[in-house]
Amino acid sequence: MSELHKFLFEGLPVRGMVVRLDAAWKEILQRRATNSETGADPQPVRALLGEMTAASVLMQASIQFKGALVMQIFGDGPLKVAVTEVQSDLRFRTTAKVVGPIADGASLSAMVNVNNEGRCAITLDPQDKMPGQQPYQSLVPLYGDQHEKLEQLSSVLEHFMLQSQQIDTTLVLAANDECAAGLLIQRMPLKGEGNLAGAVTQHHEDEIGLNEDYNRIAILARSLTAQELLTLDPEDVMHRLFWEEKVLRYPALTGAEGPRFECSCSRERVGRMILSLGQDEAQAIVAERRTIEVGCDFCGMQYVFDAVDTAQVFTAAATQVPAPTAVQ
Ligand SMILES: [Zn+2]
């Protein structure tokens, strides 16, 4: 069962979350493995995508934001890009593009940061955008303060939270082919909500790394091994680490309210993509191949448009009132 647990430390400016994804995670791997175009991703890519997915669920759940959180890692190695998207209702999807050989056990830098040119981008794409409004995007390198290559996604993201939000964050992440899981511990700002999207965030730079309660709990969190995170129930994780602390737990989010795999692709979206090709280009493809076929990189769904379907895309568009932005 995939589940997300949120908790607070009573009387302390510290909060935490544990996420565990199993059936939903296995479904993603299964779909990829049976996708005739891509096949299964190499083992280190699967592990990275699992960690990205667990981390993205934790980050999405920790902010007040309505829309998609998109985490992308891209760079100069055989893994061209890895991307995870989590909606504010915790639906998620993830995929990667591999362009060269990746050995079992390959490090993060060997995959995507060979010459320290790798980047991690976090984008917040609001659900109800104003006309012309751009998504918020923050970009961090995959190296630390001394330009040393970071080999753990958790280090990259802790760095990100510190740089962009001035929030102390501890992340423990792990993934294998059965489960993707994560633990997040965060020092809460004393005033205002720690919010990636919030324009009015109170920063407490002077407190970074100095709060004793946070530091004690962070050390406990870091003692969690990947093996424990992957095999223990979230309740057992919390109990094993924090049995001496006063932990206030919220009801677990699971099922239709919890983290779950769901792709947001649709035939209508593919239709809009065909529309953007222009009628001449679209008809030329149909003339040459008889159909336009578009496969979804996230779920493996194949969308097929024949000559009639393609013509209909353009007829339907012609009878619609153009949106204000289409006038320009
Ligand atoms: Zn899809």
Give the span between the Cα atoms of 189 and 176, in whole angstroms.
34
Distance 266 CA to ligand 1 centre (A): 7
Tell me the two tokens of residue 37: 């175009």
Q: pLDDT tier at 198 (50, 70, 90 boundaries)? A: very low
Give pLDDT, residue 321: 62
- Give the residue extent of every domain in the chain: 3-261, 267-327
pLDDT at 324 over 70: no
Global confidence as pTM: 0.87
Distances (CA, A) of 239 to 7, 18, 182, 272: 12, 12, 15, 50
SS3 per residue for 150-190: CCCHHHHHHHHHHHHHCCCEEEEEEECCCCEEEEEEEECCC
pLDDT, averaged across the chain: 90
Ligand 1 centre distance from Cα of residue 228 (Å): 32
| pLDDT of amino acid 201 | 45
CA of 295 to the centre of ligand 1 (A): 8
User: Which residue, chain included where needed, has tokens 């309660």?
Assistant: 213
296 alpha carbon – ligand 1 mean position (Å):
5
Q: How far is the CA of 144 from the centre of ligand 1 (A)?
A: 35
Q: Which two tokens stand for residue 251?
A: 């009801």
**d(CA 33, ligand 1 centre) in Å:** 15
pLDDT value, residue 157: 96
Question: Does residue 206 carry a pLDDT above 90?
Answer: no
The rounded Å distance from CA 267 to ligand 1 centre is 10
Distance CA 5, CA 181 (A): 11
pLDDT tens track for 24-53: 999 999 999 988 888 899 999 999 999 999
**At 45, is the secondary structure helix, strand, or coil?**
helix
Q: Which of 47, 86, 61, 71 is nearest to 4 (CA)?
A: 61
CATH class as words, domain 267-327: alpha beta
Dist. CA 325 → ligand 1 center (Å): 26
Q: For residue 46, give the H/E element and its range.
A: helix 43-61
What is the per-residue pLDDT for 183?
98
Whole-number percent of the chain with pLDDT over 90: 76
pLDDT at 190: 60
CA of 256 to the centre of ligand 1 (A): 19
For the chain, the distance separating the N- and C-terminal CA atoms, rounded to the nearest angstrom, is 48
Per-residue pLDDT of 148-196, as tens digits, reads: 999 999 999 999 988 887 889 999 999 999 999 999 999 987 644 444 4
Cα 134 to ligand 1 centre (Å): 24
| CATH topology classification for 3-261 | Hsp33 domain (3.55.30)
Contact 278, 314 (CB under 8 A): no
pLDDT at residue 301 tops 60: yes
Distance CA 172, CA 180 (A): 11
Length of the chain: 328
d(CA 32, CA 51): 17
In sequence order, the 6+-apart residues with CB closer than 8 A to the CB of 177 are 26, 29, 46
- Residue 6 confidence (pLDDT) above 90: yes
List pLDDT tens digits, range 231-283.
999 999 999 999 999 999 999 999 999 999 999 899 999 999 999 999 999 99
Give the distance (Å) from ligand 1 centre to CA of residue 94.
Answer: 10
CA proximity to 80, closest of 104, 97, 101, 105:
97
CA of 260 to the centre of ligand 1 (A): 14
Centre of ligand 1 from the C-alpha of residue 264, in Å: 6
Contacts of 239 (CB under 8 A, 6+ apart): none
Residue 87 Cα to ligand 1 midpoint, Å, equals 14
Q: What angle do CA 190, 194, 195 make, to 5 degrees?
A: 160
Ligand 1 centroid distance, CA of 265 (Å): 4
Return the structure tokens found at 149: 């290559």
Ligand 1 centre to CA of 319 (Å) is 28
**CB-proximal residues (5 Å) to ion ligand 1:** 263, 265, 296, 298-299, 301
Whether residue 73 contacts residue 95, with contact meaning beta carbons closer than 8 Å, is answered with: no
- 159 alpha carbon to ligand 1 midpoint, in Å? 31
